[in-house]
Amino acid sequence: MAIVIIAITGLALLQKFLPSQISFLTKLYSPEHQSEKLFTTQRVTSIFGNPNTTSLMTCLILSFFLSAMITKGVIGKATTYFFVAMGFMTILLSGSRTGFLAFALLMAIYLFTRTKQKIIVILATIGALLIIYLLRNEILEIIKYFNHYLYLGLKIILNMDIETLVSEGNTFSKRFGTWARALSIFELSPVFGVGPLRGVVTSSTDNFYLYILLRNGLVGLVLYFAFIIYSVRVALKIKNATSVRSPVTLLANAYIFQTAVILFMNFLIEAQIQNVVIYLHLTTLGVLIGMSKQTKFKILNESKKT
């Protein structure tokens, strides 16, 4: 994961400061329209070919480092902070508002998990939000240096400019029309959906929950949440049954963090992005289950020998 973070951030920095010189690398990893947008919006795509995918994959990878902080004796604090800072820099350079908010959520959940007095985390979060609001102009200037696109989006949010946020032509307000079209098609077959067809809506639903409703109906959405609930319960059960120093505990915490990020980002992302990032999420779950069984069998074998 350290190697991946270094590769992601390294290419992102090259795209930021030397976009023309490394355009051949950008085109290698990105589709034509994304590589061209690098020069207009300055949103880096790194090795994932899309700014939103890059930022969200970074959040999922950072889950391993934050989990390592909880699992004692795995990695030092300074090392963890270094890689988290690298990941955050990549998210800023990507200009992804969804990724930025997902990172903030990830850090809030991490602090909530680490602190025994939960009320302190809640009060600290409220205090941090107040400080961010009071210093919003200075914070926005820093963000503007990394990515102007992200700056414009966060400027609306931090200034609580609701009128601009929902005005016609804004990327957020455009989602309302897309969601309305998706819901109108969903009403044609609400139980089982219209089927896994492509091009049903003129553009992406920009909401993975609506995507499931549209194509798989209420049955599909219920099954999706059933899988999420069941898998998180499995992760919690494994976590509570293993030592705090175990690599299995690290994977369990990482999966829980990743699930929180994905459940949040599903409200705002295209299905194409979900289809990419879901592989790492499911791989984490698969390795977690495999390692937990291996550890269980190892303990049983050792007890038989004694």
- List the pLDDT tens digit at each of the 306 positions of the chain: 899 999 999 999 999 999 999 988 888 888 888 888 888 888 999 999 889 899 999 999 999 999 988 877 677 888 889 999 999 999 999 988 889 989 999 998 888 888 877 788 788 888 888 998 889 899 888 888 888 888 888 888 888 777 776 676 666 677 777 888 888 888 888 898 887 765 455 456 788 898 888 888 999 999 999 999 999 999 999 888 877 778 888 999 999 999 999 999 888 887 777 777 888 899 999 999 998 887 765 544 554 555
Long-range pairs for 232-239 at CB < 8 Å and ≥24 separation?
Answer: 232/256, 232/259, 234/285, 234/289, 235/259, 235/285, 235/288, 238/288, 238/289, 238/292
Query: Is residue 86 within a helix (H) or strand (E), and if so which, with residue range?
Result: helix 77-94
pTM across the whole model: 0.86
